[in-house]
């Protein structure tokens, strides 16, 4: 603006997380400034900033529509349309029930939809088959950078399902910018996979004369990898956001980290897993399956038993040191679970990082019944490999899930209650509260933070500014839902720490 001042309503850090409040603010911006083109431009930029600040990367399709609407004169006529777009985006990010009904457009080749219902896989496949046909009829080529000294080697194992492979490859091109190489091992596919591979430049492609299975193909691909880190990525997965770089950052900011995984979404946008649990009988559970991915329970970093091989990053030297995947699990299933437990047993951490997001078709290269049979067979070998580790684990029970979501379920749990998220810049005792919170984490406690009176001040982009990202922050619940929270976690917490005398009123 000419006077150099910006309306504070439009600052991203000041925007509330509640969808209705957001819609109200955008409406005010558009209506108040409909006669001022310069302010309209700033409103457009603010809306772009707002959308890009959310965990999901909103594609050019949605933004181009919003931009056209915002530039109409008078802008007031477009208000309801823009609010409707905003509403759909917000609700799709906040409420699981809306996931199946709408699309997120991810730039870089084709659009990606969330699909729900019993025909989700059928409809998703139909969509991707159409995109594959368009690709094969075009002159388009997939050109990867193939860095001279790659930081990350992205390894894909293929067996048919060319349409899923194409979506995966396009997501790499869209979401990974530099310092990487792509290694593709094709297990003698018989569909259009060969045609797709012929259109690829800059990738290392290995073509097997028979189907070697996932495990052996992974081990072979890892032997020719050159990166510091090896990313195992299923060909039926699609990268969302800057997930590869986020995984690298976890390694570079941590200590003794053996593997990093992230949030895996099903086709309807709900969770497949947010890290996984191993029970004492060798059975496994994807934490949070079919739940909303942005619930507080899934928004903090934690050490876990294992993360799915759909997206699993490992230091290449460490993968080689441990001998890669154990061939007892050939052709597939339980190999990444076994590998992650070997990491844990050797003093390395397996980290779930919530800013890593992928969409996963699940069982893309095998029939569901075949996969289930393989899992049952390999579970026996898995149990035989890890008797001491499994002896320390909890038995499979719904009541044990909250504790079992951590690799070490015996870590002491603390519920920390304060008026708001205790950022040190607030003053009024919050610097001291922030220090106490950080100290509890440094002492090894697993902390759940509960902002009692101002639960909506922060969102997932601001809460961890000076709060450790290993803290479970129960945003958007507040005083009304504390009783329910405590009821659900009756035997979970070892200590409740209440900051400020007036917050003790709840317990008297």
- Domains of the chain by residue range: 8-94, 123-404, 413-507
What is the model's pLDDT at position 64?
Answer: 46
- Average pLDDT (334-353) is 98
Residue 286 predicted with pLDDT over 90: yes
What are the CA-CA distances from residue 313 to residues 52, 147, 205, 238, 422 (Å)? 26, 18, 20, 15, 33
For residues 154 and 92, which has the higher predicted lDDT (pLDDT)? 154
Structure tokens at 414: 């603390």
At 196, the pLDDT band (50, 70, 90 cuts) reads very high
Spatial distance between the Cα atoms of 457 and 125, rounded to a whole number of angstroms: 41
pLDDT in tens, 431-486: 999 999 999 999 999 999 999 999 999 999 999 999 999 999 999 999 999 999 99
- What pTM was estimated for this model as a whole? 0.80
Span of 58-62, 391-395, 467-471 with lowest mean pLDDT:
58-62
At 118, the pLDDT band (50, 70, 90 cuts) reads confident
Residues in the chain: 508
DSSP string, 421-465: ---GGG-TTHHHHHHHHHHHHHTT-EEEEEE-S-TTS--TTTTTS
Q: Are strands 180-186 and 204-207 parallel, antiparallel or unpaired?
A: parallel
- Average pLDDT (75-95) is 45
CATH dotted code for 413-507: 3.40.50.2000
What are the CA-CA distances from residue 99 to residues 263, 269, 412 (Å)? 16, 5, 36
- Average pLDDT (302-319) is 98
What is the model's pLDDT at position 14?
Answer: 53
Residue 171 predicted with pLDDT over 80: yes
Q: If 0-12 CB within 10 Å is exposed, 13-18 middle and 19+ buried, where does residue 322 land? A: middle
Highest mean pLDDT among 12-16, 103-107, 198-202, 362-366: 198-202
Q: What are phi and psi of 157, to 5 degrees?
A: -110, 130
- The residues facing 230 across adjacent strands are 153, 314
At 508, the pLDDT band (50, 70, 90 cuts) reads confident
Q: What is the mean pLDDT of the chain?
A: 84
Spatial distance between the Cα atoms of 86 and 64, rounded to a whole number of angstroms: 13
Q: Count CA atoms closer than 13 A to 259's CA, side-chain side.
A: 32
- The residues facing 237 across adjacent strands are 360
What is the model's pLDDT at position 283?
Answer: 96
Spatial distance between the Cα atoms of 248 and 250, rounded to a whole number of angstroms: 5
Residue 297 predicted with pLDDT over 90: yes
Residue 35 predicted with pLDDT over 90: no
What are the CA-CA distances from residue 57 to residues 234, 358, 489 (Å)? 21, 12, 34
What is the model's pLDDT at position 500?
Answer: 94
Residue 8 predicted with pLDDT over 80: no
Residue 3 predicted with pLDDT over 90: no
Q: Cis link prior to 331 (omega < 30° from 0)?
A: yes
Q: Does the domain formed by 123-404 have CATH 3.90.550.10?
A: yes
Please give, one letter per residue, the 3-state secondary structure of 153-179.
EEEEEECCCHHHHHHHHHHHHHHCCCC
Q: Count CA atoms closer than 13 A to 415's CA, side-chain side.
A: 18
What is the model's pLDDT at position 103?
Answer: 31
Spatial distance between the Cα atoms of 436 and 417, rounded to a whole number of angstroms: 12
At 117, the pLDDT band (50, 70, 90 cuts) reads confident
Spatial distance between the Cα atoms of 263 and 244, rounded to a whole number of angstroms: 12
At 239, the pLDDT band (50, 70, 90 cuts) reads very high
CB 365, CB 236: distance < 8 Å: yes
Residues 6+ apart with CB under 8 A from 30: 40, 43, 70, 75, 76, 78, 79, 82
- Average pLDDT (144-164) is 96
CB 89, CB 62: distance < 8 Å: yes
At 43, the pLDDT band (50, 70, 90 cuts) reads low
What are the CA-CA distances from residue 305 to residues 130, 321, 405 (Å)? 39, 20, 8
What is the model's pLDDT at position 114?
Answer: 76
């Amino acid at each position: 603006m000419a006077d150099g001042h910006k309306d504070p309503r439009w600052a991203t850090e000041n925007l509330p997380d509640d969808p209705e409040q957001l819609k109200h603010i955008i409406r005010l911006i558009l209506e108040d400034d409909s006669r001022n083109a310069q302010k309209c431009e700033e409103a457009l930029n603010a809306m772009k900033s707002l959308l890009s600040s959310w965990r999901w990367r909103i594609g050019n399709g949605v933004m181009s529509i919003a931009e056209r609407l915002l530039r109409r004169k008078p802008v007031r006529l477009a208000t309801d349309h823009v609010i409707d777009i905003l509403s759909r985006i917000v609700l799709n990010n906040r409420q699981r029930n809306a996931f199946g009904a709408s699309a997120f457009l991810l730039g870089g080749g084709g659009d990606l939809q969330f699909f729900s219902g019993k025909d989700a896989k059928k409809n998703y496949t139909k969509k991707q088959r159409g995109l594959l046909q368009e690709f094969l009829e075009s002159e388009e080529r997939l050109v990867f950078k193939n860095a001279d000294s790659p930081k990350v080697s992205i390894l894909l194992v293929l067996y048919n399902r060319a349409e899923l492979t194409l979506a995966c490859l396009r997501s790499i091109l869209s979401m990974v910018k530099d310092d990487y190489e792509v290694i593709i091992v094709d297990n003698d596919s018989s569909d259009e996979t060969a045609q797709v591979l012929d259109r690829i430049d800059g990738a290392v492609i290995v073509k097997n004369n028979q189907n070697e299975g996932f495990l052996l193909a992974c081990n072979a691909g890892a032997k020719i990898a050159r990166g510091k880190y090896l990313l195992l990525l299923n060909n039926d997965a699609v990268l969302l956001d800057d997930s590869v770089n986020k995984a690298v950052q976890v390694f570079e900011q941590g200590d003794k980290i053996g593997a990093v995984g992230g949030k895996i979404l099903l086709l309807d946008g709900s969770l497949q897993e947010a890290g996984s649990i191993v029970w004492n009988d060798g059975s496994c559970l994807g934490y949070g399956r079919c739940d909303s991915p942005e619930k507080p329970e899934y928004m903090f970093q934690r050490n876990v038993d294992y993360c799915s091989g759909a997206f699993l990053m490992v230091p290449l030297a460490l993968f080689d040191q441990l001998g890669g995947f154990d061939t007892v699990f050939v052709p597939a299933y339980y190999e990444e679970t076994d590998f992650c437990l070997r990491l844990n047993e050797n003093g390395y951490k397996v980290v779930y990082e919530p800013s890593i997001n992928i969409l996963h078709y699940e069982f893309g290269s095998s029939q569901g019944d075949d996969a289930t049979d393989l899992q049952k067979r390999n579970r026996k070998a898995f149990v035989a490999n890890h008797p001491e580790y499994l002896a320390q684990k909890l038995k499979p029970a719904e009541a044990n899930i909250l504790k079992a979501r951590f690799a070490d379920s015996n870590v002491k749990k603390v519920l920390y209650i304060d008026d708001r998220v205790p950022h040190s810049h607030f003053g009024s005792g919050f610097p001291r509260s922030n220090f106490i919170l950080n100290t509890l984490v440094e002492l090894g406690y697993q902390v759940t933070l509960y902002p009692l009176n101002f639960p909506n001040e922060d969102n997932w982009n601001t809460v961890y500014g000076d709060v450790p990202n290993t803290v479970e922050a129960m945003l958007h619940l507040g005083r009304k839902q504390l009783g329910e929270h405590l009821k659900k976690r009756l035997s979970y917490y070892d200590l409740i720490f209440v900051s400020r005398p007036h917050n003790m009123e709840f317990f008297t």
